[in-house]
Copies of this chain bind each other. A is one copy, B any other.
Amino acid sequence: MANYLDTFFAAMADPTRRAVIERLTEGRAPVGALHSSHDIALPTFLRHLKVLEASGLVRSEKKGRVRIVHLEAAPIAAAEDWLSRQRRLWEGRLDRMAELAQSLEEFRDEN
């Protein structure tokens, strides 16, 4: 899991790459159309796509002269799982501490 999360989170740490993900949630798209909404050189944009493909987040296939890119939801779900597990563990701990503080207060009031 370690390596997978490394490449996933690194892929998500860039605004251009996140914008591509947001665009792809609306449906698959050709590389040219994806690039046209970004004010960067094509080779730079292709490097961003490569990082996304390496992370497993997007797949692409060639149809004639056009390369079509689409999203893969599974890696997103796996990263979400990791994050939500950490948050729930931490929040659970805070809840138990709050309960403990409450019990302590009640004990003090009664004694």
What number of A residues sit within 8 Å (CB to CB) of B? 34
Task: List which A85-103 residues lie within 8 A (CB) of chain B.
Answer: 86-87, 89-91, 93-94
Distance A63 CA – B82 CA, assembled complex (angstroms): 31
Instruction: Kindly provide the distance from the CB of A13 to the nearest chain B CB, expressed in whole angstroms.
Output: 4
Task: List which A42-99 residues lie within 8 A (CB) of chain B.
Answer: 71, 73, 76-77, 79-80, 82-84, 86-87, 89-91, 93-94
Distance A84 CA – B21 CA, assembled complex (angstroms): 12
Distance A10 CA – B83 CA, assembled complex (angstroms): 14
18 A/B residue pairs, CB under 8 Å, sorted by A: A5-B12, A5-B13, A6-B13, A6-B14, A6-B15, A9-B10, A10-B10, A12-B83, A18-B82, A24-B90, A25-B86, A27-B93, A71-B86, A71-B90, A76-B90, A79-B83, A80-B87, A83-B83
